Amino acid sequence: MLYATVAALLAGSITVAPPVACPAQPAVAAEVARLGARRTLEQVGDAEVTVEGDSLRILIRDGSGAALGSRTVVAPVDCQARAELAAVLIAAWTGEWVKTSLGGEPGRPAAVAATPASTAERLHLDIAALGFGMHDGDAGAWGGGAAAELRRQKWGLVVLGDGVAERRRALGPGQARYRLLRAGAGGSARQHWGWGFADVWLVPELVRYAIAGEGLVPEKSTVAWALWADLRVRFGLSLGAISPFVYLGGSWSFLHQTLALDGGGDPIVLSRANLAAGLGISVTLRQ
């Protein structure tokens, strides 16, 4: 069981035990203060936030430690979302208690009119920039790109685009040069912990090959298109709204790309598989 006791021990102070929890004490305290509910929490007493499995429970106590009431809701996966949900419940509940305690039924807080669950389970938008190295078994190159992920809880929609620098292969008396541009949209699944996250992206991509000859007569260039399936696994740290990450990926082309000389000779078939590894950083925007 993961639990966090949010208590007003001193004016404006909030403590959590244990110090490492999901949600963490600083996150809950910051959200309570941001909502302007610190003083009302001090007036009522304290609040205990308990997370067990998929449930998040808020227990309100008075200054003597007597329980005034509790509420259990579905716990978001994201730790920051849990902190936001806990703070909204505490703020709404203690605010209603302070307003109605003089004329209402003593010993229990008034019911909160609206549920704030949708606030914590709202959509999150992540914008990421990344750099990587890619190899197809014959040649390697560096690349870079950007991605956007629209996510609710652990499921998301990913849109990405990137480019890979030029690679070379021997072709007859010269060389063939090729570089890639890719873009696509797909799905994602994320597992979040207090310190970081891991997620998986599966994205079908439209790929543009720019192919040119060097040292050949004549030196021709052409453009070819292919459809790829791109799988990426990311591991990242959660540093507030900023998340640095590393990723490993593999892609597969559903179409063959062949390089051949006009005068004949053995053609070159580009590998349909590519492996990639890279680093990146993402910024989370909450809507």
User: Mean pLDDT score of the chain, rounded to an integer?
Assistant: 79
pLDDT of residue 232: 97
Q: How many CB atoms lie within 10 A of CB 137?
A: 11
Average pLDDT, integer, range 240-268:
81
Residue 5 Cα to chain centre, angstroms: 27
CATH class of 124-286: mainly beta
pLDDT band at 206 (very low <50, low <70, confident <90, very high): very high
Q: How far apart are CA 31 and CA 29, in angstroms?
A: 5
Q: In 10 A of CB 104, how many CB atoms?
A: 13
Q: What is the pLDDT of residues 127-178, one digit of tens each?
A: 999 999 999 888 899 999 999 999 887 899 999 999 999 998 877 777 778 8
Do residues 134 and 248 lie in contact, with contact meaning Cβ atoms separated by under 8 Å?
no
Does pTM surpass 0.75? no
Q: What pLDDT does residue 83 have?
A: 85
Which whole number is the average pLDDT over 20-36? Answer: 79
201-218 mean pLDDT: 85
pLDDT of 216 strictly over 70: no
Q: Do 120 and 82 touch, CB atoms closer than 8 A?
A: yes
Question: What pLDDT, on the 0 to 100 scale, is given for residue 17?
Answer: 42
Q: Report the run of H or E that residue 92 belongs to, with start and end.
A: helix 79-100
Would you put residue 99 in left (φ > 0), alpha (ψ -120 to 50) or beta? alpha
| Residue 138, phi then psi, degrees to nearest 5 | -115, -35
- Give the three-class secondary structure for 188: strand
Give the contacts of 270 (CB within 8 A, at least 6 positions apart).
136, 138, 169, 178, 256, 257, 258, 259
User: Would you kindly state where each structural domain of the chain is located, as residue ranges?
Assistant: 2-120, 124-286
Please give the residue that has the higher pLDDT: either 127 or 218: 127
**Between 90 and 45, where is the model more confident?**
90
Instruction: Average the pLDDT over 33-60 and give the result.
Output: 80
Percentage of the chain lying above the pLDDT 90 cut: 33
pLDDT at 218: 66
